[in-house]
Structure 1
Amino acid sequence: MWQDAKSWDETSGGLKLYRGFLGSGLKTSVQIASPEDRRPVNMPLNIQKEIDDVFERLFGIRFRQRSLFTTGSLEVAKEYAGDWGQVRTIKPLSCFSFCWSRFSADLYEEFQALRVGETVTDLVLRLEYECGCLADALASGHEIMMVGPAFRADFFEENKV
């Protein structure tokens, strides 16, 4: 489940991981960490906790609470950054774990479209989240939840345009 940062170049297949940041920073490169107790922006807190209960049972990590939300899609990261933000590439500096779904680009959007009679637990299980195949996760352009104590966030050169 936990991976060594030294494996990143090999397991990522050379693909980039992006994150859109609201606002602009002056530093070319900054060190960040995943949060310990992230408060959801849109997802109701009780639903986030229920989803995290499933993740914790499956993987031993409360991914919604502890993640940096990232993507392999530059376009998705640009949408998140908006007109006044910036896109940065993300790379782990120490051990990390990640979680993603081949069947869901964004878990919040899936929650909003919850099927009649489907529980939150059923939803998470139906979407078949996994903690492997990093190159596939990056190539999918889907949401990738990253957890770890240290990541480097580098200013993406396209921001200069």
Structure 2
Amino acid sequence: MDTFENLSFFRGVSAKYAVDRPQILTPRADRRPKDSPKAFHKIADQWFERNFGIPYRSKGLFLTSQLVSASTYAATVDHVMRIIPLSDYRYCWSPKVKDLIFSAQRLATSSPQEIENHLDSLSYSETDLQAAYDMGNEVMLYCENYIAIPISLVTPPPEAKPQSIIITK
């Protein structure tokens, strides 16, 4: 079974997070949108709660298997974290959505019904973490706590790449 323990998912974080050690953290219970229009965020949150029982947009952590995507949300390249939930968890993702921010910006002035119709068309699911990983799409993780491991502690530095030598007589 594929889990967050054996598939690496990442998140870009602000400069307030330590980058020299792992941290056990609790997700915000009232996440506010950083880049999404507030009206879209509220409608989407209600849609996720109605369809999955969890307001994923305000209570979820946003992850991706793509380091480049995660780094766009990080304060610096060192502020990319590998995320592993430490409690029971649920996740939600769409095979049609790399990052919902693009829809949020495009639908900023749309009616609530238009936004809900769009979300209905995106095939959101709480299954197949491997496919979410393979596609590199946004994953919303809901959990009580998680460990955030700085990327520098997960990935060896370039100068540490294994090398081979051939010894002959």
TM, length-normalised to structure 1:
0.83
What is residue 134 of structure 1 aligned with on the other side? 129
Aligned-residue offset at 1:124: 0.6
Aligned-residue offset at 1:113: 2.9
The two structures, once aligned, show a CA RMSD in angstroms of 2.4
**Given that residues 21 and 85 in structure 1 are in contact (C-alpha distance below 8 angstroms), is that contact kept between their aligned partners in structure 2?**
no
Q: Which structure 1 residue ranges, 4+ long, deviate > 3 Å from structure 2?
A: 82-85, 158-161
Aligned-residue offset at 1:151: 0.4
* Structure 1: stretches of 5+ with no match in the other structure: 1-9
* Structure 2: stretches of 5+ with no match in the other structure: 159-169
- Measured in 2, the distance between the counterparts of 1:53 and 1:20 equals 25
Aligned-residue offset at 1:93: 0.4
What is residue 3 of structure 1 aligned with on the other side? none
Higher mean Cα deviation, 104-113 or 76-85?
Answer: 76-85
**Given that residues 98 and 147 in structure 1 are in contact (C-alpha distance below 8 angstroms), is that contact kept between their aligned partners in structure 2?**
yes
| Correspondence for 1:154 among 142, 146, 149 | 149
What's the CA shift string for 1:83-138, capped at 9, x where partnerless? 46511110010111111110011111022234x88700011111111111111112
Identity of aligned residues (%): 29
What is residue 89 of structure 2 aligned with on the other side? 96
Rg (Cα) greater in structure: 2
> Structure 1 residues 52, 159: closer, same or farther in 2, change over 3 A?
farther
| Correspondence for 1:35 among 18, 24, 28 | 28
TM, length-normalised to structure 2:
0.80
What is residue 6 of structure 1 aligned with on the other side? none
What is residue 2 of structure 2 aligned with on the other side? 11
1:62 aligns with 2:31: no
**Given that residues 18 and 70 in structure 1 are in contact (C-alpha distance below 8 angstroms), is that contact kept between their aligned partners in structure 2?**
yes
Letter in 1 for 2:118: L
Is the partner of 1:57 in helix, strand or coil? helix
Count of matched residue positions in the alignment of Structure 1 and Structure 2: 152
1:74 aligns with 2:73: no
Higher mean Cα deviation, 10-19 or 136-145?
Answer: 10-19
